[in-house]
Structure 1
Amino acid sequence: MLVVVPFADEVRPVAVADYRSTWTAEFAELSDRLQSALGQRAVVIDHVGSTSVPGLAAKDCIDAQVRVAALDEAELISLLSDVGFRCRPEEWNRTEVSAGVRCPKLVFAPPPGERATNVHLRLLGGPNARYALLFRDYLRARDDVRDAWGAFKQRLAARVTDLADYGQIKAPATDVLMAGAERWAAESGWVVSGGGFDFGGTEH
């Protein structure tokens, strides 16, 4: 589960908004900036998280996943810091467990004063990168699950506006959601595009 400790300029109550078609264009702009800053180090840049699912209610925060061939912390932090992005320093924003595997990562906040963004750098082929894509594609494929998940988040945000508390309550529900996603992946033959995954193939 993603746990973000906001910088001072990011602190605000949790609010889950109806889907906005502008999120796609805002991701595209962010992707261009990241590609320019990282060059060939950014092998694939994915729109992930709830704003990447058409029709899904979400916090107004764009999540971008950058898949890299090597997670060279010093180099990547320097390149993104040069264009204003701030590396989140918490230990849990440097590593996460996915499919029982401890996976390295880096998470960046936007430059101060910019729209809410999280930039996740993960290894190409890592199970944590797969997890983010499976979450997205499962909800894109299943309108019933998408609508139920959005309604749940809106009800929760209406009652719990503290980000840490919201995340703690949402975590076990996310586990249930992703169990369903894994069943869907097995039944549908879903696989990840972009290279680096043992099971290869095309994205659905």
Structure 2
Amino acid sequence: MSPNESTDRSPLSRTPGVPAPLPSRRGGDVAQAAAAALAPPPHFVDGRVVVVEADPKWPYLFQREADRIRGALGAAALEVEHVGSTAVPGLSAKPCVDVLLIVPDPGDEAAYLAPLEAAGYALWHREPEADGHRVLRGPDVNTNVHVYGPGAGEAERLRLFRDRLCADAGDRERYDRTKRELARRTWDSLDDYTDAKAALVEEIIGRARESAAARAE
């Protein structure tokens, strides 16, 4: 699985017409917010993965989510970072803002889940075998919040991948071109699309590790 994606367990059909992320919140109570968070994501439509041009709103939308998460969790939010393709300036991406949230123990859901649900997030799925990974989704902007604990290897992969794409124009162009090509195909699931670019993702992370090791010498 790509480091900036999570398994999509939602229904795969959706009414045509993909809404762009907007800098506005939906009204309503917590139950309505949760329902909105668990609605099918807008980046997989009728077997096609939606990849759009880089949007200057993405950093703003991340910061808004980060502020909301920190406001809900306080000191329990050890780190909140923008990851995934929307964190890379100029890179095309699915219209989904990926957030990396580090908490003391992702297995202790009682310590963070209820405050985040009260803030409008909803638990999307659990992947405890992958460093305790949980994914929450936001109520208005298409957002995935990836929850890990301190020192999680998967969290390191997210950072390495993001930082390499930000720093290296060659890898950024390869990844951009690959995503655009794959987005022109039809897929049975989002996982199939993710698997199709997995080899390139691993190459990029490998080069990121090599570069980091060279700098450390």
Question: For the superposition of Structure 1 and Structure 2, which TM-score range results when normalised by the shorter chain?
Answer: 0.7 to 0.9
Residue identity matched to 1:108 = L
Distance 1:153 1:23 in 2: 18
| Alignment size in residue pairs | 180
Aligned residue runs from structure 1 range 175-190, under 5 A: 175-189=202-216
Distance 2:184 2:211 in 1: 30
Tell me whether 1:9 sits opposite 2:40 in the alignment: yes
- Superposed CA deviations along residues 47-103 of structure 1, whole A, max 9, x for unmatched, are 0011001111111100010112232212222111112211123x43x331xxxxxx1
TM-score normalised per structure 2? 0.76
Structure 1: stretches of 5+ with no match in the other structure: 97-102, 191-204
Distance 1:95 1:82, change over 3 A: farther
Distance 1:31 1:176 in 2: 30
Conservation of the 8 A alpha-carbon contact between 2:120 and 2:138: yes
Conservation of the 8 A alpha-carbon contact between 2:161 and 2:208: yes
Matched with 1:68 is 103
Aligned partner of residue 120 in structure 1, secondary structure: strand
Matched with 2:135 is 107
Matched with 1:95 is 129
Distance 1:152 1:79 in 2: 38
Distance 1:19 1:188 in 2: 30
Matched with 1:159 is 185
Tell me whether 1:26 sits opposite 2:57 in the alignment: no
Aligned partner of residue 8 in structure 2, secondary structure: coil
Tell me whether 1:56 sits opposite 2:91 in the alignment: yes
* Offset of residue 175 of structure 1: 1.8
Please tell me the root mean square deviation across aligned C-alpha atoms, in Å: 1.9
User: Which deviates the most, 73-82 or 135-144?
Assistant: 73-82
User: Which deviates the most, 2-11 or 29-38?
Assistant: 2-11
* Offset of residue 147 of structure 1: 1.3
* Offset of residue 8 of structure 1: 4.2
Over the matched positions of the two proteins, sequence identity in percent amounts to: 32
Conservation of the 8 A alpha-carbon contact between 2:178 and 2:197: no
Distance 2:145 2:162 in 1: 16
Distance 2:124 2:159 in 1: 22
